Amino acid sequence: DLVVVGSANADLVIGVERRPAAGETVLGSDLAVHPGGKGANQAVAAARLGARTALVARVGDDPHGRLLLDSLSSSGVDTAAVAAGGAPTGVALITVDPSGDNSIVVSPGANGRLTPEDARAVADRVLRPAPVVSAQLEIPLETVTEVVRLLAPGTRFVLNPSPPRELPAGLLAACDPLIVNEHEARVIAGDGALGDGPEEWARALLALGPRSVVVTLGARGAVTAEAGGDVTRVPSVRVDAMDTTGAGDAFTAALAWRLGLGESLPVAAAYAARVGAVAVTREGAQASYPTAEEVAAL
Ligand code: ADP
């Protein structure tokens, strides 16, 4: 149902009283190791909802890589297209203080070695049969552009440009939709004025060439816009937010899957907002992702 192309990281988390300044050493909590990375998060979110999901990624031939492969498999993600080796598994070193503020260092590791050649190697078997392919930018940009080039004419391409950077026009034109939060919208638009409200941002982004745009607004829901079509407000679901980590990845995965089932963009986005809402009521990223039954019960 869905193919995700993207990163897989081990998130190494230590709780601290105070995040260390330059030259300083602080003692922290026991280390917690969580599977993460936007690609792996999206794949797990879709699989948990019941989507048949495959991930195209690269991990290291090391314990973190095996941890990621195990967590993906146990969530039901097809990992046959996850390559291993070439560099250590990507890691995020995260310190969190009692107020929830964090400092993060990311070593992309093997994610940075997911090459256009890797994409070509899985094109016929994995990419071309997919109804929807979803990507983010924690892997080399040239790999994402190669994926787009390899897709079958009928395959829908969904991009969350995170971490954000200015995008080549050809890549923008393939996005259906481009999914951004406010920060990503500002970077993608460059110096271009975005306008006053999220409906204006969506129109401004649409003018850059994608076939459709979704702007996510956290607790305020989302806005969808389609070339030659309507701009639609997607209401959020009111919940007690506990941890927003990975909510955007769950939203994107759910949206991409529902689009592949044939839903319209506003209908798929409304479903994705419910998935995002459940995800923020629970701790963690992948650990917070709901099943379809849990979304229905919301
Ligand atoms: P990102 O994590 O990429 O910045 P958002 O914070 O916009 O993404 O979250 C993605 C989606 O998850 C939102 O569009 C919304 O539907 C849902 N969501 C996020 N935070 C909340 C919240 N506090 N209450 C309800 N829904 C939320």
Q: Quick: pLDDT tens for 121-153.
A: 999 999 999 999 999 999 999 999 999 999 999
**Atom of ligand 1 at shortest distance to CA of 241?**
23
How far, in Å, from the CA of 248 to the mean position of ligand 1? 6
- For atom 5 of ligand 1, which residue has the closest CA? 218
What local confidence, expressed as pLDDT, does residue 195 receive?
Answer: 84
pLDDT in tens, 156-180: 999 999 999 999 999 999 999 999 9
**9 labeled binding residue:** yes
CATH code, 2-296 = 3.40.1190.20
Which residues' Cβ are closer than 6 Å to ligand 1?
A: 181, 216-219, 221-222, 236-237, 239, 241, 244, 247-248, 251, 273, 276-277, 280
Across the chain, what does the average pLDDT equal? Answer: 96
In the predicted model, is pLDDT for residue 193 greater than 80? no
> Residue 156: beta bridge partners?
132
pLDDT in tens, 57-78: 999 999 999 999 999 999 999 9
**216 labeled binding residue:** yes
Return the exposure string of 217-256: e unless at least 16 CB atoms fall within 10 Å of the residue's CB, then b: beeebbbbbbeeeebbebebbeeeeebebbbbbbbbbbbb
pLDDT in tens, 72-101: 999 999 999 999 999 999 999 999 999 888
**230 labeled binding residue:** no
**What proportion of the chain, given as a percentage, has pLDDT over 70?**
100
Give me the mean pLDDT over the 244-263 stretch.
Answer: 96
Q: For a pocket test of ligand 1, which of 180, 216, 242 has the largest count of ligand atoms closer than 8 A to its C-beta? A: 216
Taking the CB of residue 138, how many other CB atoms lie within 10 A of it? Answer: 23
Give me the mean pLDDT over the 6-29 stretch.
Answer: 96
Prediction ipTM score = 0.97
In the predicted model, is pLDDT for residue 191 greater than 90? no
Backbone angles phi, psi at 236, to 5 degrees: -85, 165
User: Left (φ > 0), alpha (ψ -120 to 50) or beta: where does 280 sit?
Assistant: alpha
Give me the mean pLDDT over the 107-134 stretch.
Answer: 98
Give me the mean pLDDT over the 186-207 stretch.
Answer: 89
What local confidence, expressed as pLDDT, does residue 194 receive?
Answer: 82
In the predicted model, is pLDDT for residue 192 greater than 80? no
Domains of the chain, by residue range, sit at: 2-296
What local confidence, expressed as pLDDT, does residue 127 receive?
Answer: 98
